[in-house]
Amino acid sequence: MRIAIASDHAAIALKAVLAEWLRAAGHEVDDLGPHDGASVDYPDYGYKLADAVASGAADRGVALCGSGIGISIAVNRNPKVRCALVSEPLSAALAREHNDANAIAIGARLTGEAMAIACLEAFLSTPFAGGRHQHRVDKLGNPTPANPTKA
């Protein structure tokens, strides 16, 4: 798989660890930056990551910042990208299985390296279940609110 990865300055070290793990697992990694510790604005890198995933240049995306919150908001501005903020493997797996997430966000100040790798492994190895989840995912990419449905 081709994986795009981006961060802000707070997550440079975690980005390097995850990129190395991805390469060792046989994935092609597109590091969208930043490439040094200078202070940057997380939306800039979130938008770059979203563009890579939405355009098909990357199959999946990994977004990192201090908390994971800010960059996940930036990535999710693109209606073709479904980025889930995760902190443990179950949420990463469910993001794929139920929501067909094509990107995940992780907070470098909140999630250790081993847990981040476990999240990434669960995210990449879990297929989308489709079925009853498909129509819900379809609604996520539709900017027009759908009519409410009965449960």
- Residue 21 is classified by DSSP as H
Q: Left (φ > 0), alpha (ψ -120 to 50) or beta: where does 68 sit?
A: left
- Take residue 30 and report the two structure tokens written for it: 């597109």
Residue 29 DSSP SS3 = strand
Catalytic residues: 65, 98
H/E segment holding residue 58:
none
The helix/strand/coil state of 63 is strand
